[in-house]
Amino acid sequence: DVDELVESDDPEHPANLIPELCRGFYTIGWVTGTGGGISIKKGNLVYLAPSGVQKERILPSHIFVLPYPQPSVVKAHTERTFLRKPKQEGLKESACTPLFWNAFDLRNAAACIHTHSQHAVMATLLWKGETFEISHQEMIKGIRIGGTGKTLSYLDTLVVPIIENTPHEEDLTDSMNAMMLKYPDAAGILVRRHGLYVWGPTWQGAKTQAECLDYLFEIGVKMKLMGL
């Protein structure tokens, strides 16, 4: 029974973690209005939340499960093979799926988070070029090179590339992919007027990266406000 893929008493099972983490992300404003989310990869299974639902009310039974890697006959971004789909009518896999996949494929990430954090959006409005940059902040030490490598030093400058938003989320796939290749050390990708994609070597790592980056966007914006 494929439903066993999302039924577990272990609170750290991805089908339990995704709802719990989304509730936490909701309270800090990262996934309000059904936006944003998280995908977790464990072994060769990818766990995914549905699209367009209240992220703070997801249940384990709503979770999609996909094989990783996808069979090579599947066309990138437009087709997908599933091991388990929720039975509820109208649930569609997250529109972020191909962007999460970028993190799995290009960075060997085990989890990818997408936020609509206002700190991220404000950072993309105030840093008008191709990158957000900040230096001399302790929280930079929490950021991993490429998101999954060694942590940065306090003396390093953090550089987060910014891609331009598109009407359809999946159309961000190629520009995100290109930017991840252009900036191999980037720990996340900002989407202008939209939010952040960030990943990590584990779900804990992805969450930590997300918190450190969001802290740095917030303090960067505050510094601009104060004229610093």
Q: Which of 12, 138, 169, 218 is catalytic?
A: 138
Q: Does 68 bind its own copies (CB under 8 A)?
A: no
Q: Does 61 bind its own copies (CB under 8 A)?
A: no
- Point out which span in 39-47, 71-79, 103-111, 205-213 binds its own copies (CB under 8 A): 205-213
Q: Does 218 bind its own copies (CB under 8 A)?
A: yes
Q: Does 125 bind its own copies (CB under 8 A)?
A: yes
Q: Does 92 bind its own copies (CB under 8 A)?
A: no
Q: Does 129 bind its own copies (CB under 8 A)?
A: no
Torsion of CA 14, 15, 20, 25, to 10 degrees: 70
- Of positions 7, 154, 182, 184, contacts its own copies by CB under 8 A: 154
Distance from C-alpha of 119 to C-alpha of 52, rounded to nearest angstrom: 22
Q: CA-CA distances (angstroms) from residue 133 to 93, 113, 159, 218, 224?
A: 33, 20, 5, 12, 12
- Point out which span in 37-45, 69-77, 83-91, 189-197 binds its own copies (CB under 8 A): 189-197
Closest distance of CB 96 from its own copies, Å? 12
Q: CA-CA distances (angstroms) from residue 69 to 106, 121, 148?
A: 12, 32, 19
Q: Is 218 one of the catalytic residues?
A: no
- Of positions 144, 194, 198, 201, contacts its own copies by CB under 8 A: 194
Contacts of 50 (CB under 8 A, 6+ apart): 58, 62, 64, 86, 91, 92, 93, 94
- Of positions 33, 69, 92, 133, contacts its own copies by CB under 8 A: 33
- Decide if 76 contacts 170 (C-beta within 8 A): no
Distance from C-alpha of 67 to C-alpha of 202, rounded to nearest angstrom: 18
Query: Phi/psi class of residue 119: alpha, beta or left (left: φ > 0; alpha: ψ in -120 to 50)?
Result: alpha
Closest distance of CB 70 from its own copies, Å? 26
For its own copies, the closer of residues 159 and 219 by Cβ is 219
Query: Phi/psi class of residue 195: alpha, beta or left (left: φ > 0; alpha: ψ in -120 to 50)?
Result: left
Neighbouring CB atoms inside 10 A of 71's CB total: 9
Q: Restricting to residues 157-176, which ones interact with its own copies according to CB under 8 A?
A: 165-167
Active site residues: 138
Residues that bind its own copies in the complex, under the rule CB under 8 A: 29, 32-35, 53-54, 116, 118, 121-122, 125-126, 136-139, 141-142, 153-155, 165-167, 191, 193-195, 204, 207-208, 211-212, 214-215, 218-219, 221-226, 228
